[in-house]
Structures are given as structure tokens and as C-alpha cells.
Amino acid sequence: MKAVIMAGGKGTRLRPLTCHTPKPMVPLLNRPCMEYTIDLLKKHGITEIAVTLQYLPDVIRDTFGDGSRYGVSLVYFEEAIPLGTAGSVKNCADFLDERFVVISGDTLTDIDLSAAIRFHEQNNALATLILTRVETPLEFGVVMTDEGGRITRFLEKPSWAEVFSDTVNTGIYVCEPEVLSYIEEEREVDFSKEIFPSFLQAAKPLYGYEASGYWSDIGSLEVYQQAQFDLLDGRVHLEIKAQEIAPRIFLENDVRIDSSVRLEGPVYIGENVHLQAGVAVGAYSILGKNTVISSGTKLSRTIIWENSVIGKKAEITGTTLCRNTRIADCVQLGEGAVIGDQCLIGAKSVVKAGIKIWPNKEVGENATVTTSLIYGAKQTKNLFGTHGIKGIGNVDITPEFVTRLAAAYAYLLQAGDKIALSACAHPFAQLLKHSIMTSLCSSGIDTVDLGIGNSPLIRYGVRSLACKGGIHIYMAEPVDDKEIVIQFIDHAGLPISRDLERKIENAYWQETYIRNLNRLGALQVEHHVQEAYLHALVQQLNVSSIQRQRFHLLIDCEQRFFPTFLAPLLHALGVTVDYSSIQEGIRKKGADLGVRLDKNGEQFVLFTEHGEKLATEQITALQLLACSGQHRRIGLPVSAPIELEHMAQLLQMEVVRTKVSPRSMMEVSSEQRFHPMFDAVYSLMRILSYLASEEKPLSVLLELLPACHMEKKTVFCPWAAKGKVMRRVMEENKGKLLELVDGIKVYDSNGWVLILPDSEDSHVKVISQGATAETAATLASSYARRIAEYQFHEKREIDSL
């Protein structure tokens, strides 16, 4: 039995720890992370090991040598270009002439590899993925198996709506040599994205073994810190190579401790550390070898790498310090701060919580560091939500924030790419647009300023002007909440993919920016997109029939933009308008229908001539009717009632069931310049055109629409419980007809119910449809109650441990 240790990772999310150190070499209790992997393989009798290298390969090679010092034999395979997980293993093909284990050098685990290998043998598997359960599966691959362990489905880095379980791929595989024959040479190939999905599609024996041991992917600074705390707490069944002089107090050799020093376990103190008089070392502190802690200093939950010197009377809490750092007297370092290699922090300085300081930086005396040096502010969650980036104006979303955000976006573009920009009429949104424009141009990206607009306009503009993408900023309603939304658009006029969102987030967190005076971006101002949009929209309408009908509308909308924007269109169509609130009364105004337009121009609410408000499903049905001649293919979300699908089919429209995200729905008919579900003006004009051709008022048409009985509920669910809840839903509905396009959709004789984790809040949405309103309400209430019970049972199980 042989093994491959994947040790090529850069660990960009761990920077500044990994600026000079490969990710597998970051120390855990003063030992390289990869050393624990070698020990685990050796424990299970695997001593012939290949090591794949790419980033700073000599650091790893020089540390471990041929492996003899660790009781194993190591052979190194270096990649000139990134080959992906499977490509890296293929690069070792000459070495792998028998069954082998693939394992990462940058994870900490005590999983029973022997048990996994036995499971693999018993099932005659081609490949076996070792699985484990985690609280938050978003950064991993979710895997589903049948009762025998055969893999039935998996999703790589899913959204919350795709989390069908809390069981994930650890990246540890048991493979037969035959696996190598399916991997192309000298090409970037990934196991979880390409090889394993192809095995699943071809019905090859692909299995998942659910392990019960400890497993942690050292992928973030917080996880890096927690993994060491877990080692100190004894949660990881791996050897700690130091003497335990008191319960959970570990010392290596030649430690000098003054008699007045106070130690509070658990702590780990490395070789040749010197703790001077009056030092207090609090719980969960780890001190690297050759470190000096001067008198009167207080440490708590602090990780210090080797060869660092801490001055007198410093206070360090929850901070990580890399190699060869110098902290002067009376310095205060805050929770979550990270100080890179060979930094000097001057006397009486304060480094605030969450600040990251890049290697080789110097902070002067009496300085207060409130923003990271090179790095931006610490992020605790994803930037992007379902509809873009949201935050409170001038609090979360500031000019400084959008400047860094735009620079991160520019890093992923090519010099000379053209990006369209627009914003709503609010002055602060316009200010942010100019901040983004400046940042993009300084990064070599050309910009096109579309002025005041909305999302449908910028989508149209991006396509008509052949831009690489676009950014739109608007103040959400109600304006009093001061919430700003930033939307990114791709070259096809669609919301950007989740993959691109992740890349922007990573570039933002890492602040890998490009600034170049040799190539500044050009600025173009384009004032004709509105005119072009309206002209193209009119081409989609039966203008003469609308003109004959002489509609009178009551439109409730924001007053800075829409009245001016709509005036030429409505004038051309012979439509008269009152711009006022719906509350003033449709009948009083003598309107044929009332419309409340969403400020961003994507959604709207309709009211009949009698003032009756249409339900969401009724508006969608009208949109299908009105657009049937123009759209032959339409995307309907899994949350839409089945009657709408039948209706669309009767209208000879091809229906594709999609996720509920706007991009998923829009890309089904991406060739269309206007999308009825996300362009309120276009959709409204199509409905007017349909009403004119039918020569019937809206209230009469409503009676012809199918009846849909829907119920929606929102159930509180902590982030840490979402994966467990979804797993329980899957387990308890085994044998029923399930649809897993987005969330879990359960069908039964009474209708269906969709369980959909919210991607932005600690909630789970429950959407149901039944034959009657009572049936739909009963279904939704039943599942809402179960979701609450699943959380209670999980908590009770944890409390009993």
C-alpha cells in the first residue's frame, strides 16, 4: 500500500501565514502540519509515500528529506504548472503501481485509514471517498450515498440551497491503480469536479466511507487557530511530542521559566523558550522555539512561531505571530490580529482586532493600527448574497470598501477590458459608482458610465456595448433603511456566477490588487443606452393595438428616475399615467390598472381596475401569457407551482426547472435581450400588449388563470445546524419522490413542499403547494415544525455527550 500526500497548496486564505511558508508547513504545536499526516500514514502501515509539490517546494523538501528521519520513504514530484488534484496524482503514476491513498498535507485528522481501506476492499471499489460530517458544508463537497455506501450524488462547494446533507468529502481517497488510466497527462484535472462525476455517470464502483474521527481542513486563520486548541484539548488522537508537566501543560526541552510566571493550561511551550519574571501565559497559548517573553507581559489564546521576541508589559490576546517577529514594550495586540514574518511593532503601539500585517513591515512607536497593512479588513462571512452585495450605506458599504472591491474585481480582468457602470439616482449610490470607476481605471480597466439607471438597463447596456461585465449600485427600498446593493453583471448580461463571486471574494480578502501607471483605463460616458433600450423594447410590442386601447395607468414608483425614463415610451404608446401611491385609489384615478414598480426595475406588483392586488403566482402566469409569442424557452424556479409549468407547455413554451437564483432562471433564455421575470418595464408593456389584443380588462383575465394554493413559512435555524437539518430531511423522506434542483423538494399525494436554506440569514424557507389552501398550509406547518424539532434533537444529542 502506497500513499500520495498533496502538498502543493499556496494557502492564500491563510496569508500572511503562508507568504513565506507553504500551507502544509504551517506549524501546529510547533510541528509542520504535514508531519501529522506522515505520522498518520505510518501508524496505519503506509510508509512508501509520494509528495506532490508546487508552491515553495524546497521548503518542504529540505524539511523532510527522504523521510528516513520519520520512519518512511518519501519521493517528490514537482509540478511546473498547476495540475489539479487528479493531475497531481497522475504526475506520480510511475510510483503508484498498487492500491494507494490520496491525502492532503494541509489537513489535521486522526481518521482510521485502516477501516476505510477495509471498507474499500469489501466493496471492490474503484475509488472510495472518506467522508465526515461538518457544521458548515459550503466550502467542501457534499456527498450523498445509499445504504450500502455507494455514492449517488455530490456537489462541489454548494450554496446553502444545494446543501442536502452535512456529510462532506475530506479529500482523502482510497484508489485502485486503474483510476490513473482515466486521468489525462499534463493537464489540470480535478477529482471532485471531473473524475468522480464521470465515474458516477458511468456507474463505476464509487463509494463513500463515513469516518468518525477528527478532521479539520486548515483553510482559514480561524480554523488554523482552532485546530491547535483542539490538539491541546485532546480532541485529536495524535501524539503531542512534548512533556506534560501538569494537566494540559506541555513543555519541550530546555525551557526557562521564572518562578513568578503564571501558566494556565492548556498551553504548549516550545524548545528553548524563555519566560521572564511576572509573565502570565493564559489558556490556549502556543509558543514557538527560541521565543523570549519579557517581564510583565500577558498572553492569552496567542500563537507565536519560532524566534520571536516579545517586549515588557505587552498584552496579546488571540493573536498569531509568525517567525522572527519583534514586539516592543507595552504593545497591545487585539483578538484575531495576525503579524507576518519579521515584522517590528514599535513600543506602546496598538494593533486592533482582526488586523493583518504583511511580512517585513514596521509599525512605529505609539501608533494605532486600525486598517491592515496590505490586507483589507477581516471578513467573517461571504460578501455576496442571493442578489449581490448588501450593506448599510457609509457603514458597511463605504467608498473605501467599494474601492477595494473594484480593485479585487479588476485583478480578475485583463487590461483594456471594458466594464459598464450605473447607479440609481440617490447621491450616495452615484458617489460609490465614481469610487468604483476610479479604482477600475487605476487598475487598467476601461469603464463606460451609463449614468442613472437600473439592473435591466445595465444588462442591456453590457450586451449592446460588448462589455466584459458591469456593476450596478442602488439604494434598496425602503430608503430609510439605508441599505445599498451592489450587483455584478457578466458579459452576457446575467448576474455573475457563484464561481466568479468566490474569486472576487478571495481577491478582496487577499488584496491581490494591480496598480500600474503604465496602463490606466479609459473613461467613456454613454448617454444613449436608455434610448436604445426603449427603442428595442418597442420593437417587441404590438404598438397599434396598445395605442387604440388608450390605457390609463396609476404607477407607484420612485420619483427621481422612472417618470422621466418612462415618459417617451408611454407617450409613444398613447398611455396616460398618474404617478402617485396605490393608496390614493385606482378607482378614484379611473385607472385601467395599478402598478407598483420596484426601485431597481426588476420586480413589480399589479392591481386590477378594482384595486385587487395580484398574487405572485398570478403575475407570473400573466407574464407567461404575455410573452408566449416572444419566448420559446423559459426558466421556472422549483418553487413555482406545477400549474404554471402546465400553462407554459400549453403555450408551446419549453420549461426548464431551475434554482431560485436570478442567474439560474435568466440563463435558460440568455439569448433574449429582455427577461420578463426580471425586467418590470418590459414585462408590464408585454402585459399591456396582451390586454390590448384580448380587449378585456385585467379582472376578467384573472378569472381565466389557474388557481394555485401556496404557503410560505420561514423557520429560524442557526448556520451550524443547517447541514444537519437537511440531512435529517433527506433521511426521513427516504423512499419518497424527491427533487434536488435547489433545496429539497418532497412530493406526496397532498402536494409538495420545498425546504430551502437561506443563503444570507439563519433561516430555512418552507414553501408548499397543495390541492387546497388548507392542504398547503398543513404541509408547510408540518415541515416547519419538523425543522424546529430536528434542531432540538441535534442539540439534545450534543448536550448528552
Residues 661 and 698 in one domain: yes
Digit-coded pLDDT (tens) for 774-790: 999 999 999 999 998 88
**What pLDDT does residue 797 have?**
46
Any domain includes 235: no
Residue type, 204: K
Any domain includes 252: yes
Q: Which residues contact 499 (CB under 8 A, 6 or more apart)?
A: none
Residues 85 and 188 in one domain: yes
Distance CA 125, CA 110 (A): 23
| More confidently predicted of 142 and 6 | 6
- The whole-number average pLDDT for the span 333-353 is 92
Any domain includes 662: yes
Residues 314 and 407 in one domain: no
Q: pLDDT band for position 265 (50/70/90)?
A: confident
Q: Look up residue 241 and give its three cell numbers.
A: 511530542
Distances (CA, A) of 425 to 422, 454, 558, 570: 10, 9, 10, 21
Distance CA 25, CA 225 (A): 15
Question: How close are the terminal C-alpha atoms of the chain, in Å?
Answer: 36
Beta strands in 284-374 (DSSP E): 285-287, 292-293, 298-300, 303-304, 309-310, 315-317, 320-321, 326-327, 332-333, 338-339, 344-345, 350-351, 356-357, 362-363, 368-369
Distance CA 215, CA 226 (A): 12
Digit-coded pLDDT (tens) for 456-483: 999 999 999 999 999 999 998 776 668 8
Smallest CA-to-CA distance from 707 within 642, 627, 628 is with 642
User: Which of 76-90, 151-165, 188-202, 411-425 has the weakest average pLDDT?
Assistant: 151-165
Strands 2-6 and 709-716: unpaired
Domain end among 184, 217, 250? 217
Domain end among 702, 728, 754? 702
Q: Compute φ and ψ for 633, nearest 5 degrees.
A: -140, 130
Contact assessment for residue 363 and residue 342, using Cβ atoms and an 8 Å cutoff: no
Any domain includes 522: no
CATH number, position 601 = 3.40.120.10
Distances (CA, A) of 146 to 151, 206, 210, 300: 6, 11, 12, 46
Any domain includes 741: yes
Residues 53 and 116 in one domain: yes
Residues 604 and 628 in one domain: yes
Digit-coded pLDDT (tens) for 666-703: 999 888 889 989 999 999 999 999 999 988 899 998 88
- The whole-number average pLDDT for the span 19-43 is 94
Distance CA 445, CA 520 (A): 7
Any domain includes 375: no
Q: Look up residue 616 and give its three cell numbers.
A: 405572485
Smallest CA-to-CA distance from 144 within 170, 169, 122, 120 is with 169
Any domain includes 525: no
Distances (CA, A) of 423 to 218, 451, 463: 40, 7, 17
Residues 538 and 687 in one domain: yes
Domain end among 668, 702, 736? 702
Q: Compute φ and ψ for 183, nearest 5 degrees.
A: -110, 125
Residues 617 and 674 in one domain: yes
Range of the domain at 500: 389-517
Any domain includes 475: yes
Residues 395 and 456 in one domain: yes
Residues 668 and 759 in one domain: no
CATH number, position 153 = 3.90.550.10
SS (H, E, C) 156-213: ECCCHHHCCCCEEEEEEEEECHHHHHHCCCCCCCCHHHHHHHHHHHCCCCEEEEECCC
Instruction: Report helix, strand or coil for 482.
Output: coil
CATH number, position 297 = 2.160.10.10
Average pLDDT, the chain: 90
- Looking at the structure of the chain, the number of domains it has is 5
Residues 56 and 184 in one domain: yes
Residues 536 and 410 in one domain: no
Q: Look up residue 791 and give its three cell numbers.
A: 434542531
Give kind and range of the element (H or E) at residue 43.
Answer: helix 33-43
Residues 33 and 173 in one domain: yes
688: β partners: none
